[in-house]
Structure 1
């Protein structure tokens, strides 16, 4: 059985009017063409749909069954067509997103709202990852797009700049430097440092070490924290000082003071990352939304 949607539409027109001429005018086709479509449909189904034995056109028993079922068939067909069109535009399906913690607390919600407003049927799955694990997850196909910091592009993963933030110095509130307006980086030479483990963000870690080396010392790392909350808690406890992107100052953690650094200060980039081979419209929409949010501040 090979049913065509145009034949079903023609059948519904005739079944509604119970008059071939009126149905033909309604469909803007000739009556012979309409009759030909109905005969083709009856041939496909192997049964008559209309009783043409009297002057009035009437539905047969089979025709009445089809008259009830055909609208559902057409509605499902139209729904399927709409879903296919939406999928081609990246408006449906699942988009898996990775994000560093700072982005989740700053720009990521705005990006997600923008994507959701434009494509309400696109399912978003968001997980917090540090930069290095995100790059691995992208390359492995476990996430589709990510918000990363100070990452280098690879052969597999493309990275595009969004915004930059200067480094700030985080010290305990009772630290000798806490009362000053700024910090001379050379004053940190003998201080214990609290930092991220390098495997979680090699590029960011190396920015900090390079900055310290540029001021004549290597940071004495006494403890590491796998997330920003842990690191700032360690700073508040007096275990050391830390250098962090300026956004973390907005968190206002108790027991910690953020101070600007004197002189030229490295800028830490927030970026959007995705697989170079990915042609998904949903990924393209997310990247565009991320750039729009970054540009609007």
Structure 2
């Protein structure tokens, strides 16, 4: 059976009007053309849909059944067409998003809100990962897009800049350095450091080490933390000082004071990453939205 949607629409017009001429005017077609469509539909279904034996046009029993079913068929067909169009435009489906913690507490929610407002039928699955884990997951296809820090592009993953933040010095609240308005980086030479493991963010780790070496010392790392909450907790406990992107100062952890560093300070980039081979419109929309919001900020 090969039903045509235009024939169903023609049928519904005649069934609603119970008059071929009025239905033809409603559809802006000639009456002979409309009659031909109805006859073709009846031939396909193998039964008459209208009783033409009297002067008035009436629905047959089969016609009444189709009159009930046809609107649902047309509605589902239109919905399917809409979904196909939305999918082609990246407005439906599932988009898996990774994000570093700072981005989740800053720009990521704004990006998600904007994408959801534009594409309410697009499912967003969001999870927190460090930069290195995101780059691996992107290359493996387990993530579609990621918000990362100080990452280097690879053969498989493209990285684009969003915003930059200066490094700040995080010290215990009872540390002598906590009373000063700023910190001379050379005064950190003999301090124990709390840092991220290099494996979780090589580029960011190397920025800190390079900064310290530029001021005549190598940081004496005494303890590492796999997430920012752990690191700041270790700083608050007095185990060491740390250098962190400025956004973490907004977290206001108890027992930790954030201070600007004297002189020229490295900028730590927040970036968006995605697979180079990904042609998904949803990914393109997400990346474009992230860049627009970052530029506005």
The yes-or-no answer on 1:21 pairing with 2:21 is yes
Q: Secondary structure at the match of 1:178?
A: helix
**What is the distance in 2 between the residues matched to 1:28 and 1:260?**
73
Task: Summarize deviations over 1:217-238 as a string: whole Å, max 9, x none.
Answer: 1111110000000000000100
Instruction: Give the distance between the partners of 1:262 and 1:209, measured in 2 at CA.
Output: 17
Runs of 4 or more, structure 1, over 4 Å off, are none
SS at match of 1:177: helix
The range that moved more, 287-296 or 240-249, is 287-296
Which residue is equivalent to 2:229? 229
User: 1:102: Cα distance to partner?
Assistant: 0.3
Name whichever of 252-261 and 2-11 sits farther off.
252-261
TM-score by length of 1: 0.98
* Inter-partner Cα distance in structure 1 for 2:112 and 2:277: 23
**SS of residue matched to 1:190:** coil
**Structure 1 position 120, deviation (Å):** 1.4
Cα deviation 1:189-216 (Å, max 9, x = unaligned): 1111100011111100011111111111
TM-score, normalised relative to structure 2: 0.98
Shift of 1:42: 0.8
- The residue matched to 1:199 in structure 2 has which SS? helix
Alpha-carbon distance, 1:28 to partner: 0.6
Query: Alpha carbon RMSD of aligned pairs, Å?
Result: 0.8
Tell me by how many angstroms 1:126 deviates: 0.6
User: SS of the residue aligned with 1:123?
Assistant: strand
Q: Distance in 2 between matches of 1:262 and 1:16?
A: 80
The answer to which of 118-127 and 235-244 deviates more is 118-127
**Cα deviation 1:65-115 (Å, max 9, x = unaligned):** 101100110011111111111111111111111000000011111111111
Paired with 2:60 and 2:117, the residues of 1 have a C-alpha distance of 49
Query: Whole-Å Cα distance in 2 between the matches of residues 47 and 207 of structure 1?
Result: 79
Decide which moves more: 286-295 or 149-158.
286-295
Q: Which runs of 5+ in 2 are unaligned?
A: none
SS at match of 2:176: coil
Distance 1:54 1:120 in 2: 52
TM-superposed deviation, 1:179? 0.8
Q: Distance in 2 between matches of 1:114 and 1:174?
A: 42
**CA distance, structure 2, for counterparts of residue 223 and residue 85 of structure 1:** 53
Residue deviations 1:2-35 (CA, integer Å, cap 9, x gap): 0000000000111111111111111110111111
Count residues with an aligned counterpart.
297
